[in-house]
Amino acid sequence: MIALVDCNNFYASCERLFQPRLHNKPIVVLSNNDGCVIARSDEAKELGIEMGAPSFLIESILQQHNVSVFSSNYTLYGDLSDRVMTTLSQFADQLEVYSIDEAFLNLTAFRQHNLTDYAHTIRNTVMQHTGIPVSIGIAPSKTLAKIANRLVKKRNKQLGVYCIDTMQQMEHALKNTPVKDIWGIGGQYTKLLTRHGFNTAWDVSRAPEEWVRKNMSVMGQRMYNELKGTSCIAFEDMPPKKKMVCVARGFGKVLSEKNEVMEALANFTAMVAAKLRSEQLATNTIQIFVQTNAHRSNEPQYFRSLTIHLPEATNSTNELIRYARKGLETIYRPGYNYNKTGCTAMELIPAAEVQYNIFDKENRVRNSKLMNVVDVVNRSFGKDAVRFALQGFSTRWKLRQLKLSPCYTTRIDEVLTIKI
């Protein structure tokens, strides 16, 4: 049996955790630069606020209903996610972190237990340890576990647990799941299935196997078997190695000076390098770009990217910033108002497998020691406590986050204090 544990309205729950006054109040969380709605509490959903709605278009609704609005605080959300996953790891031999707020647990070893009671224990423990409410769906396959989780969140979120362990429960769950809500079914397959009269997951599970194999390829066959209770999607104990690492963001304000754009690019490149080191990877190629705001049609537009093949694979911040700087010198054009830049590391290989050229002039040993010290200091004293000069200290390029909550769990100066 497999359990899918899903945090309820995760971003909103993170904000509520440190502000109890927000319980039962509508909450929305905005995307980078406070642009669009990317998360909503149940109360906000009931107001008709749509996912992806531009914040400036719904400002009157937000004010009218006293909706609490937050800028996305990924530092806080990431830390609380780690705490949730650490707690979950105590309850199963296999844990697969599926996303920032979802994880699969392999409960095969607990078949002799009452799995519903066991799930309630998991749920209560996560709440006690982290303060984050979760819903749990249990079933013989990952796809059915997804369906069970969706069903309990739609029908009885307060109960929080739904276990599919009988044919009657499986039939009930499948009949109450539209085709579009089956895990892995996209828009095109939804149209195909509904066009042929398959409107629910139950209909799909009753379809002729030959038809599924012919019209939906291997993915469809796997989904078909999973709906019937046969587990076909293996657990991934370790996430697959990344094929690329990208950091690209819009600016809080448009920039027209090259040194300001370079400062932003240097910071994004440093983030890429730090991510590579954390994954023990190195890159053979980086790609940088700059662009203007396409929505400002009254201004001249410009977009240019450049792919840079490195002489040796590396994850050293100083090397990558140096190449990014040379690249920007090539693609930057004066006279434009830039609103975004970024750096992407491609052709990644394990750092331990880098083969160096006999004519390589870099002091790799020194660079490795330097990067290790930088990472240790920044982990201990906060992001960018140590940085390269080109990263600067300007705030013009930084994201617009006018409604950012404190990083309660990761910054000592923002930890909640109690006066007695």
What is the per-residue pLDDT across 249-286, written as a single tens digit (0 to 9) for each? 888 888 888 999 999 999 999 999 999 999 899 999 99
Residue 273 and residue 200 in one domain: no
For residue 28, being part of any structural domain is answered with: yes
pLDDT band (50, 70, 90) for residue 246: very high
Name the token pair of 63: 């004010």
pLDDT band (50, 70, 90) for residue 419: confident
Backbone angles phi, psi at 135, to 5 degrees: -115, 145
Residue 155 and residue 8 in one domain: yes
Spatial distance between the Cα atoms of 240 and 236, rounded to a whole number of angstroms: 8
For residue 172, being part of any structural domain is answered with: no
Across the beta sheet with 2-7, the strand order is: 94-99, 102-106, 2-7, 134-139, 161-163
pTM of the model: 0.79
Residue 6 and residue 144 in one domain: yes
Taking CA 307 as the corner, what is the angle to CA 301 and CA 309, rounded to the nearest 5 degrees? 165
pLDDT band (50, 70, 90) for residue 27: very high
What is each CA distance from 154 to 137, 149, 206, 375, 381, in whole angstroms? Answer: 12, 9, 24, 43, 43
For residue 414, being part of any structural domain is answered with: no
Phi-psi region of 310 (alpha: psi -120 to 50; beta: other; left: phi over 0): beta
Among 59, 53, 100, 108, smallest CA distance to 81 is for: 100
Q: Name residue, tokens 């799909």.
A: 204
Residue 366 and residue 252 in one domain: yes
pLDDT at 379: 83
Spatial distance between the Cα atoms of 95 and 93, rounded to a whole number of angstroms: 7
Query: What mean pLDDT is reported for the chain?
Result: 89
pLDDT at 113: 82
Maximal C-alpha separation, the chain: 71
For residue 130, being part of any structural domain is answered with: yes
CATH code of 116's domain: 3.30.70.270
Spatial contact of 12 and 30, defined as CB atoms under 8 Å apart: no
Name the token pair of 151: 């069903």
Among 64, 73, 10, 1, smallest CA distance to 40 is for: 10
Any idea what DSSP says for residue 415?
A: S
Residue 157 and residue 289 in one domain: no
Residue 283 and residue 252 in one domain: yes
Residue 12 and residue 81 in one domain: yes
CATH code of 262's domain: 3.30.1490.100
pLDDT at 254: 85
In this structure, which amino acid lies at residue 300? Answer: P
Spatial distance between the Cα atoms of 82 and 280, rounded to a whole number of angstroms: 20
Residue 158 and residue 251 in one domain: no
Among 142, 157, 148, 216, smallest CA distance to 177 is for: 148
Spatial contact of 39 and 406, defined as CB atoms under 8 Å apart: no
Spatial distance between the Cα atoms of 275 and 280, rounded to a whole number of angstroms: 9
In this structure, which amino acid lies at residue 381? Answer: F
Backbone angles phi, psi at 194, to 5 degrees: -65, -35
Q: How many domains does the chain have?
A: 3
Name the token pair of 154: 């739609």
For residue 417, being part of any structural domain is answered with: no
Residue 13 and residue 102 in one domain: yes
pLDDT-wise least confident of 140-144, 214-218, 300-304: 214-218
Give the model confidence (pLDDT) of 357-402 as tens digits: 777 777 888 888 999 999 999 888 877 888 898 888 877 777 777 7
Spatial distance between the Cα atoms of 281 and 419, rounded to a whole number of angstroms: 46
Higher-pLDDT residue of 173, 242:
173
pLDDT at 80: 94
CATH code of 193's domain: 1.10.150.20
pLDDT at 416: 82
Among 143, 108, 306, 304, smallest CA distance to 229 is for: 143
217 burial (CB, 10 Å; 0-12 / 13-18 / 19+) is exposed
Residue 212 and residue 307 in one domain: no
Residue 216 and residue 288 in one domain: no
For residue 66, being part of any structural domain is answered with: yes
pLDDT at 15: 94
Q: Name residue, tokens 């890429």.
A: 272
pLDDT band (50, 70, 90) for residue 237: low
The percent of residues above 90 in pLDDT, for the chain, comes to: 51
For residue 124, being part of any structural domain is answered with: yes
For residue 121, being part of any structural domain is answered with: yes
Q: Is the pLDDT of residue 239 over 80?
A: no
Residue 356 and residue 311 in one domain: yes
pLDDT at 6: 94
Q: Which domain holds residue 270?
A: 245-391
Name the token pair of 260: 């300001």
* Structural domain ending residue among the three candidates 132, 162, 192: 162
Spatial contact of 149 and 156, defined as CB atoms under 8 Å apart: no
